[in-house]
Structure 1
Amino acid sequence: MQGFLLVDKPSGITSFGAVARIKRLANEKRVGHTGTLDPMATGVLPIFIGKATALSSYLAESDKKYVATVRLGLTTDTDDVTGNIIATSKVGVSDDDVISALSGFKGRVRQTPPVYSAIKQNGVRMYRLARQGLDVKAPEREVEIKDISLISGLDEQNEFSFSATVSKGTYIRSLARDIGETLGCGATLSRLKRTFVSNFDIKDAVPLDSLTSENIKEYIKNEADALPFLTSIGVTEKQAVRFANGGELSLDRLNANGLCDRQIIKVFFGNTFIGLGIVSFEKQMLLIKCNINRP
């Protein structure tokens, strides 16, 4: 079994756990996801199956959109409500204050990832070190908040919700924490749903719990559909065989007008997706990035 599966992950299961379930249902050892979701989080989790796992890194670079709910007046060690409470404080802010705080995060910002994260420090996941009581801190990094807006104002629990479109590597837990610091009362993430990855909306995702070994094939898409943002090029059967066997293709013999140097493109023979190539103006060749199917 091979292809691309768009899953709506429920709360209470890790992304690794979702992958393990797909492995069993698809009876396929090679299964991987792109863009980890915390156990508490729900929403879009793209999954690649079979040889298509070679494509997962390309989707991981894409922007993502979230709907998040933040609780003010509460600070935890994980930056979400599943963690241990570090501090509580009174909340004396308005919706206008929240809107103002949110606007301050739009654009490129410096962000420190949560201590309880999958980032590696000296080869070990930081959450493992934190659970051992070790003093760890992830290095600050630059991320981009491309859009952020309030969608639901403060309620009786001092919670509000916002939507955000963010770049790769952005932690919404960290964003919630930083918003609380800006407002002067602390904050933690109470709910999170990923609603969009690359070109894929949550309405196109299948709930993980509705998948069975009998129906999973119905939801698996062609792996090339996972990369709609890449340019496609058609080749002849002879060229397809050569490419699939590890041979580079001459740009002079391809319809390569308008391509850029080092551009990654999808290679097709008819309707068959052969793999990914990378343009080399220096060699005047289409080099092999990865092979997925044979013609």
Structure 2
Amino acid sequence: MARKRKGRDISGWIIVDKPAGPTSTTVVNKVRWALDAKKAGHAGTLDPDATGVLAIALGEATKTVPYITDALKAYSFTVRLGISTNTDDAEGEVIATSDLRPDDAAIKAVLGSFVGDIQQIPPQFSAVKVDGQRAYKLARAGEEMELAARPLWVESLLLTDRPDVDHVTLEMVCGKGGYVRSIARDLGQKLGCLGHVRELRREWSGPFEAANGLTLEQIEAIARTPELDAHLLPMEQGLCDLPEVKATDEGAVRLRNGNPGMVIGTGVEYGDECWASYKGRAVAVGRFKSGELHPARVFAEPAD
């Protein structure tokens, strides 16, 4: 018999302003403990040294994680010019240097080549799989790999500051699967001066902003109290990029049982992916077809 998972059946989102140091998994475990939650996950990994918004999904909200993962995200990051490392960030070993330091005009002139649909090669030290193994494990063992380029949508890439001749601060808005370290590496190569990420912060991810997130210190201070529960955001916020339709009384019952159910919506067309609500709460996500939602994900009925 499978062991029953301990914890409360709570659903929603907690937004954390992650500090540099802990892994994303460590933060998830801390939040799960602080809320005594049965189930938790996150919407998009941040490297240990990166800071910023880490959206933690609890309970039924974990079913909405893919929609936040797919959403646009904004990063602010500082590139150290003149040095490349084996990890493409400040934690790695220096593998090459350059005395060239391009001016702001030269940097701005090449940023446009990183905007739109681009192909990006992940860093050697990344979580992509190579023959069933994580690339970073092979890289730590001294193996060099030819990683395949991956598509990435970059909405914008702007120069926002030039603290000194060796550093440039950029802001990027992009889709899922982007490696900021690869942007820094490729920018340095294109400019002929080399480069790596010195600092990285995720400012927002979909509807969630780092500025509105809790620090780990705040979470620890109010752990296991109603005060922390009050910071739980509705599960439905994870669906904000999808159109909403409203289930009828009978439609809600059918949807909760995994069957197509009658819904009412405006502005949606046949085949559109959308989510159905009933009395303001999410019931299911699926495809709209001839007045019915055909569910792909169904949410448990709230206990309250």
The answer, yes or no, to whether TM exceeds 0.5 is yes
- What is aligned with 2:194? 186
User: Please, which of 164, 169, 173 is the counterpart of residue 172 of structure 2?
Assistant: 164
Cα distance in structure 1, aligned partners of 2:171 and 2:206: 16
How far the C-alpha of 1:257 sits from its partner, in A, is 4.5
Partner of 1:150: 159
Counterparts of 1:106-185 in structure 2 under 5 Å?
106-155=115-164, 158-185=166-193
The residue matched to 2:164 in structure 1 has which SS?
coil
For structure 2, list consecutive stretches of 5 or more residues without a partner in the other structure: 1-9
Query: Is the 8 Å Cα contact of residues 70 and 160 (structure 1) preserved in structure 2?
Result: yes
TM-score by length of 2: 0.89
Matched, 1:286 2:282: no
Q: Is 2:218 the partner of 1:207?
A: no
The residue type equivalent to 1:280 in the other structure is K
How far residue 154 of structure 1 moved from its aligned partner, in angstroms, is 4.8
Name the CA distance, whole Å, in 2 between partners of 1:68 and 1:209.
24
The aligned residue for residue 50 of structure 1 is 59
Q: CA offset at residue 143 of structure 1?
A: 1.4
Mapped contact 2:125–2:136 kept (Cα < 8 A): yes
| CA-CA distance at 1:247 after TM superposition | 2.2
The range that moved more, 162-171 or 203-212, is 203-212
User: Given the alignment, which residue of 206, 214, 217 partners 2:229?
Assistant: 217
- Secondary structure class of the residue paired with 1:20: helix
**Hey, what does 1:39 align to over in structure 2?**
48
Q: Which moved more, 1:266-275 or 1:51-60?
A: 266-275
Is residue 237 from structure 1 mapped to residue 249 from structure 2 by the alignment? yes
- 8 Å CA contact 1:94–1:154 kept in 2: the answer is no
Q: Distance in 1 between matches of 2:146 and 2:47?
A: 19
Aligned equivalent of 1:88: 97
Q: Do the aligned residues in 2 keep the contact of 1:241 with 1:294 (CA within 8 Å)?
A: no
Q: Distance in 2 between matches of 1:266 and 1:92?
A: 50
| TM-score of the aligned structures, taking structure 1 as reference length | 0.92
Q: Deviations over 1:204-226 (max 9, x none)?
A: 22223311232321211110022
Deviations along 1:230-258, one digit per CA (max 9) or x if unpaired, are 111222333212211222114xxx32443
Q: Which runs of 5+ in 1 are unaligned?
A: none
State the superposition RMSD in angstroms.
1.8
Would you say how many aligned residue pairs link Structure 1 and Structure 2? Answer: 289
SS in 2 for 1:168: coil
Alignment partners' CA distance in 2, 1:194 and 1:148: 14
What secondary structure sits across from 2:89 in the alignment? Answer: coil
For 2:101 and 2:244, the matched residues in 1 are separated by 54
